[in-house]
Each structure stands twice: as structure tokens, then as C-alpha cells.
Amino acid sequence: MFTIISLSIHGHPRLEKLKEHAFIAFNNALRSYEERYKQYCKSTGAPFVQHDWKPRVLTYEEMEQLLIKENGNTFTTHMNEFKEKLLTNTELDTRMFAARVVEEAWKWMKDKSPAIILFYSSLYSPRIELSGKTEDELNLIHALDKAVEEIQPKYPYPIVTRNFFLFISDMSFVALSDDEGGINAVSKNNPGWGTKHYVEYQDIRDLNVPVINIGPYGVDGHKKLERMEMTYSLEMVPNLTNLVILNLLNN
């Protein structure tokens, strides 16, 4: 028995932190299971059988390396053939493709005691830093600050800039702040990498264009009652964007 936790997340977290939280969740689950199992046995009269299960959390890379060590080319050849065959199933998206690969790899595990396998299964949107470390970044920051200063008198509420965008955006594919270690952690823990899914992150690093997000304002995004503050979104945003562009051109 194993649980696969697909990391369809935006931005690269520390895998060790994820493993830590998965371990805590696993430990809590085992404790709850034992308590409920004891209650069941007590109420039904069924014999209680002690299970010597311990929390076990592996990344996909760790599981793969373990199986390669134990089985060598036999395992890698089988998995490569399995992935190629799986590609013919056009109904599988990247997430389910990755899950099927993990399930197939699990069949090779000698220790079938409960485990959590952590892996990435969908597109990774790299984080972007705009810290002013280059001249281009400084010019963009100054252009934005000047534009906000010009627009603010025309809007009754404070226009605030934030240094980190919490959501996904296509901006992630014009600049890259992750180092090679961060990108490798993504690629080596994505079971579909190189077959069902691949991104040339080096091309993004080579492009490396400083970006900011000037977008609409609203509430309940992606929910039933999603709505937009019209004055800011339809009047302030276009003019703010235009001013930033003009400030950069006139710099």
C-alpha cells in the first residue's frame, strides 16, 4: 500500500520541507488508524493484530534510485518501455501519466509496507525575483514607482506594489531565478519528464527578461461569485501599464 502525493504546485518548494510535513501527516494517519482499529476490534470482538508500520516518505527520485540500485538496467529498460507504451494513451494528461508511472515503479518495491511517494506531475511555473540586482531590473522598478505616483491621485484607494506574486502567470516563462539544483529537483522528481512532459528551462534562463504583473483587482477568483473592481481594472490598469512603458522608453 502506498500513497502518491502529486505536487501540482506553482513555484519550487523545498522538498525536505514537504517530506517533513508528509511524515507528520503519515504519523498522524497511522495513529488514527490504530485507534479506530482498536475500537473496531473491541466492538466486534475481532482479534487485534499489531501492525509494525512506521512513517515512510520517499521522493520519486529516491524511489527510482533505490530500484535502479537493486535491479539495474532491467528496471530502467522496463520503465522506459512502459512510458513509451503509456504515451499511446492520449486520454492521460501529464498528471495521470505521472501517477501511472509511479504505480508501475511501486510494483518493483520489495518493501510493500505503507509509504508516501512525493513527485511532481504537472507544469512547473518558476518563481521570478525582481530585486534590482541588474540595471534593467532597476529601470523597471523605477518606471513602476513613477507610474504609480502619477496614477494614485486619480484613484481613491492606495495602489500598493508587492514584491512577490503568489499565483501562476505566463511571466514565469520569460525569466528564471531558480538555480540548477532547483530545476533538477523538479525534473528528477517528475516521472513524466522527457516523455509526456518537458520544458527547456535553459531557454528561459537565456531570455531572462525582468517582468512585473499589472493586473486587474477583484475578489473570489475562480469561484462562483468571481467579480472585478471595474474602476481600477478597466481604467487604472491600462493607464498604469501605458505609463510604465512610456517611463521605460524615456529612461
pTM: 0.78
Number of domains in the chain: 2
Distance CA 186, CA 193 (A): 9
Sole residue written with cell 473491541: 42
In a domain, 71, yes or no: yes
Residues 22 and 67 in one domain: yes
State pLDDT tens for residues 120-148.
Answer: 998 888 888 888 889 999 999 999 999 99
Q: Is residue 84 part of a domain?
A: yes
The per-residue pLDDT for range 40-79, each reduced to its tens digit, is 999 999 999 988 888 999 999 999 999 999 999 999 999 9
Is 214 inside a domain boundary? Answer: yes
- Which residues make Cβ contacts (< 8 Å) with residue 206, sequence separation at least 6? none
- E strand map for 17-97: 57-59
Q: Assess whether 7 and 103 both reside in one domain.
A: yes
State the Cα angle at 101 between 95 and 103, rounded to 5°.
105
Whether residues 94 and 201 fall in one domain = no
8 Å CB contact between 196 and 164: no
Domain end: 78, 94, 119, which one?
Answer: 119
Residues 97 and 198 in one domain: no
Residue 129 lies in a domain: no
Classify residue 21 as left (phi > 0), alpha (psi -120 to 50) or beta: alpha
Q: What is the pLDDT of residue 14?
A: 67
Give the integer Cα–Cα distance in Å for 125 and 174. 11
pLDDT in tens, 150-185: 999 999 999 999 888 777 888 889 988 888 888 888
Can you tell me whether residue 43 is helix, strand or coil? helix
